[in-house]
Amino acid sequence: MDKTMFDQRYALYLSEIEHFLSAQFEEKPHWADLYDSMRYSLLAGGKRIRPVLTLEFARMAGMDWRQVLPVACALEFVHTYSLIHDDLRRGKPTNPKVYGETMAILAGDALQPEAYRLILTAPGLDARERADCALILAGASGADGMVAGQVLDTLHQPKTEEELTEVHRLKTGAMIAGACMLGVAAAGGSDKLRAAAEEYGYQLGMAFQIRDDMLDVVGDEATFGKPIGSDAEEGKVTFVDLLGLEGCETAVRDCTRQACEAVAEHDGEFLCFLAEQLAGRNK
């Protein structure tokens, strides 16, 4: 797969994802302010890596990927609620500043059931696939997944490589692996492909997070899109502290290679290309 083909497919996924998201909560009930607040954050853009992964795994499992848009976007709903509630703590000029803290809590709270509603009414899926997908989402985002990672990251002080790996595995890896597995589950794909999806997702998540730690030290603030040095300011130990920049580069390269290997026998060129792009990203 060359860069043009990769870019074309990514752009197609992205445009369908944005289109689907922008059709959500368009009505204006009495509580239109709640809808506006949810839309504000849902449509704030971003790379949409997670839903892209869901669509690509559904395609690999032999399904018309457009049918999986509700499932892909459901995970993006959950990712979005987590960003809103995160920003409550950080005082960023996002949803809580625009709509107030009470609305930010409530908009985040509503995005969770709305995510399940999307999955459980997805037209292209039968009851078994819907239930399967909803359970994957619950596992990825729950008390032994994303939220556990957020608790460790914000309320504990992870300091060793083992502790940091666990945080990233839970906080970032669980949702990225969940996105991948959702695609396979929605398509009724094989257990073998689902296991490959999980492995790919965790390796990609780890590479992504280590690269994030690197960019927080050596990144260009304007390109990266968030303040450089914020980890050090918050007193956080990162992979850069533990492995050094060179050690981090090696680790990112290792995780990326393992991600590619996981999907090598499954028509995984797009996914391998994506992993390599993210490994070298500057933002």
* Sites of contact with a copy of itself (CB under 8 A): 25, 29-31, 33-35, 38, 81-82, 85, 88-89, 100, 102-103, 105-106, 108-114, 116-117, 120-121, 127-128, 130-132, 134-135, 137-139, 141-145, 147-148, 150-152, 154-156, 166
Tokens describing residue 210 = 């280590």
Q: Where are the alpha helices (DSSP H) in 121-190?
A: 127-141, 146-155, 161-168, 174-186
| CA–CA gap between residue 272 and residue 259 (Å, rounded) | 7
For residue 256, the minimal CB distance to a copy of itself (Å) is 27
Contact 12, 20 (CB under 8 A): no
Tokens describing residue 262 = 């996981």
The residue ranges of DSSP E strands in the chain, in sequence order, are: none
For residue 23, the minimal CB distance to a copy of itself (Å) is 15
For residue 250, the minimal CB distance to a copy of itself (Å) is 27
For residue 79, the minimal CB distance to a copy of itself (Å) is 13
Q: Which is nearer to a copy of itself, 118 or 193 (CB)?
A: 118
Q: Which is nearer to a copy of itself, 82 or 256 (CB)?
A: 82
| CA–CA gap between residue 169 and residue 267 (Å, rounded) | 25
CB-facing half-sphere around the CA of 164: CA atoms within 13 A: 17
| CA–CA gap between residue 268 and residue 260 (Å, rounded) | 7
Q: Which is nearer to a copy of itself, 138 or 278 (CB)?
A: 138
Q: Which is nearer to a copy of itself, 37 or 54 (CB)?
A: 37
Q: Is the alpha carbon torsion for 39, 202, 56, 211 positive or negative? A: positive
Q: Which is nearer to a copy of itself, 81 or 200 (CB)?
A: 81
Backbone φ, ψ for residue 244 (5° rounding): 75, 165
For residue 97, the minimal CB distance to a copy of itself (Å) is 16
Phi-psi label, residue 162: left if phi above 0, alpha if psi -120 to 50, beta otherwise: alpha
Q: Which is nearer to a copy of itself, 38 or 214 (CB)?
A: 38
For residue 247, the minimal CB distance to a copy of itself (Å) is 24
